[in-house]
Amino acid sequence: MTEIAFQKTRGPFLYSLTARLLSYTPHWLLFHVSRVGGLVHFLVSREKRRSYLSNLASAAHIPRGFKALRAFQNHALNVLEILKATSESPSEIMERVTIQGKEHLDDALRTRTGLILVTIHSGNWELSGLALALHGYPITTIAGEQLRDDWSECVKDWKRKYGIHVLSPGRSLRDLYRDLQNGRFVVLHMDGNLFSGGTELTFLGKRIRLPRGPAHLAHVAGVPITIAVCRRKGMNHLEISVRGTLPPPRSADAEFGTTHKLAANVENCILEDPGQWCIFRRM
């Protein structure tokens, strides 16, 4: 019985201890640690490295000088930043994140129509969501495992503290619909794996299935869709780029066209700087 209780508390204890230690670490040191940690991850994770390169193998117009190593290093910095941010003040987090295209979010906030924010795993997507919440935007997100399995609930509780409505992957469409009707912004990852079925289309030069959820939910709820992508700008700064708004599909048949537009926009975001994209499973 004692062993079981220890297993249940060990994860949160290690999470708190690690976050505490990182709270005393300057960001410049986190950055350099992530360069080494990302390199080690790149070298030892053969399958992840192959998957990452496979996802981009058929894509056109990869920027000259692109190195897959950079994505692994960015991901390492993401983990360190998230843990350090648990002890940072809201103002410290907001100072490091700027929002381009903020007017699209302000329009939806003012009219309380609800909004679907389509994004990808780029820059530091976790901190960008937190920054949006700190700016007063009512964020709802779907979250599976966060950092590691035994830390997931700690990270989710941290998000909830700042007003983010965190739903598990098993929750129904009705929950998302309700939040949209209440004027919330539902964040959905176009490159995520928490979906079933999907729409088959060409993405990064391959025929794959991408989630139809954003277009279908927009159609059902009658709310617009916007694409918001996070990128790193230097050692200690993130920029969220909000790229216009698409109207909701008017019919079920129109959902495919909307999904196709979203996929094309997301693909462009990835190809502009693939080293920012952190997906290490085969799509």
Q: How confident is the model at residue 63 (pLDDT cuts 50, 70, 90)?
A: confident
* Per-residue model confidence as pLDDT tens digits over 15-58: 888 888 898 999 999 999 999 999 999 999 999 999 999 999 99
The percentage of residues in the chain with a pLDDT greater than 90, rounded to a whole number, is: 66
d(CA 275, CA 75): 10
Q: What is the pLDDT of residue 5?
A: 38
* Per-residue model confidence as pLDDT tens digits over 205-243: 999 999 888 999 999 999 999 999 999 998 889 999 998
Q: What is the pLDDT of residue 274?
A: 93
Q: How confident is the model at residue 60 (pLDDT cuts 50, 70, 90)?
A: confident
Classify the phi-psi angles of 271: left when phi > 0, otherwise alpha if psi is within -120 to 50, otherwise beta: alpha
Q: What is the pLDDT of residue 6?
A: 34
Mean of pLDDT values over 88-105: 92
Q: What is the pLDDT of residue 46?
A: 95
Q: What is the pLDDT of residue 196?
A: 65
Mean of pLDDT values over 75-104: 92
Q: What is the pLDDT of residue 7?
A: 40
Q: Break the chain into its structural domains and give their ranges.
A: 2-276
d(CA 277, CA 55): 11
Q: Tokens 């920012």 label which residue?
A: 276
Q: Which amino acid is at 98?
A: T
Q: How confident is the model at residue 96 (pLDDT cuts 50, 70, 90)?
A: very high
Q: What is the pLDDT of residue 195?
A: 67
d(CA 167, CA 13): 24
The partner residues of 141 in beta bridges, in order of sequence, read 166, 187
Chain-wide mean pLDDT for the chain?
89
Q: What is the pLDDT of residue 18?
A: 86
Other beta carbons less than 10 A from residue 229's beta carbon: 27
**pLDDT for 66 beyond 90:** no
**pLDDT for 83 beyond 70:** yes
* Per-residue model confidence as pLDDT tens digits over 109-140: 998 889 999 999 999 999 999 999 999 999 99
230 contacts: CB under 8 Å, gap ≥ 6: 119, 122, 123, 124, 125, 127, 128, 238, 239, 240, 241
* Per-residue model confidence as pLDDT tens digits over 239-280: 999 988 899 999 989 999 999 999 999 999 999 999 999 999
* Per-residue model confidence as pLDDT tens digits over 134-173: 999 999 998 877 777 778 888 888 899 999 999 887 766 7
